[in-house]
Amino acid sequence: MTANVSQTPPASPTPSPLHAVVADDFDAVNRTIVAQLNSKVPLVETIGQYIIESGGKRLRPLLVLLAARSLGYQGDKHITLATLIEFMHTSTLLHDDVVDESHMRRGKKTANDAWGNAPSVLVGDFLYSRSFQMMVDVGSMRIMAILSGATCVIAEGEVLQLTNIGNPSISEADYFETIQGKTAMLFEAASHSGAVLADATPEQERALQYYGRYLGLAFQLIDDLLDYQGDAEAMGKNVGDDLAEGKPTLPLIHAMERGTPEQAKLIRQVIRKGGLEQLDEVLEIINATGALEYTRARAVEMADKALAELDALPPSPYRDSMANIARLAVDRKA
């Protein structure tokens, strides 16, 4: 049975003041998502709709809308741009879940768990391809250069993360290089391309580019913190998933640096083999070394940098929403 995506709009984020200032634009993005998911292959529509409807805050398309509107943009191409950014993000989720062999995301089965790895990868490829078709519709070579460059950086970040799995020797600098590629780059591309679309001044363009970068770093730092402190039901995944996969995130890196030789040795062993058999011992070390407090402090540092970049923009409700996003990025519980 074919999913009738043309009649069912994708689930919208829970209404909030962040979305309220661009509510009409956001509705238009949802309608465009439906239209652009159209395919003559039913499984493409089915999986595409499933992953799009899995929830999430849709922060990346929201950044496009807010960045463009904050600089007075009055056209309609920001709708297309926001939609294609969401498609790029959704594609990375499909690919990530296959690579990570994930079974749950946002409290639902992952697409690879429901349909298998091959369909998930191929639908991810479809969404990437569709996003590039939409870039052509936007009609800006500068934006195409930003987004095509971003896709390469994101792919490199994912490969870097993959090569670091099971490696307890990566440094904090290595970690930041990884999360800049795999997470922060798309935040940066979203706000940067929105600025270019709105004909920003060089100062404003740079400010919105770096706002997105710092916001993305803060967002990923809190994600990695919540893996050891979060509520499994609220997050839609299990506490300790990163440890189970052998991912050396900042809480573990800091705990190894600040812990005793015996504590560092235990964490190194757990990273190498993965699994959750020693989760309680690792959590005890993380808490004893202040690793979560340190990770949060670095996230707050990044959020403060993002806020500082907004000084280059004129006062507006759109700028206020971007500031609130930076604050909420470090205060969230999921």
Which string of DSSP letters, residue by residue, matches 66-113? Answer: HHHHHTT--SSHHHHHHHHHHHHHHHHHHHHHHHHT--EETTEE-HHH
- Please give the structure tokens belonging to residue 192: 């940067």
* Contact of 50 with 94, CB cutoff 8 Å: no
Record the pTM: 0.90
105, β-bridge pairs: 108
Q: What percent of the chain has pLDDT over 90?
A: 69
Region 207-230: mean pLDDT is: 95
Is residue 147 predicted with pLDDT exceeding 60? yes
Region 167-175: mean pLDDT is: 96
- Please give the structure tokens belonging to residue 191: 């706000």
Is residue 196 predicted with pLDDT exceeding 80? yes
Region 38-43: mean pLDDT is: 88
User: What pLDDT, on a 0 to 100 scale, did the predictor assign at position 9?
Assistant: 46
Task: Quote the CA–CA distance of 171 and 168 in Å, as a whole number.
Answer: 9
Which has more pLDDT, 91 or 309?
Answer: 309
* Contact of 168 with 267, CB cutoff 8 Å: yes
Q: Which amino acid is at 151?
A: T
Which has more pLDDT, 49 or 4?
Answer: 49
Is residue 202 predicted with pLDDT exceeding 80? yes
DSSP state of 180: I
Q: What kind and span of H or E run contains 266?
A: helix 261-273
Which has more pLDDT, 178 or 334?
Answer: 178
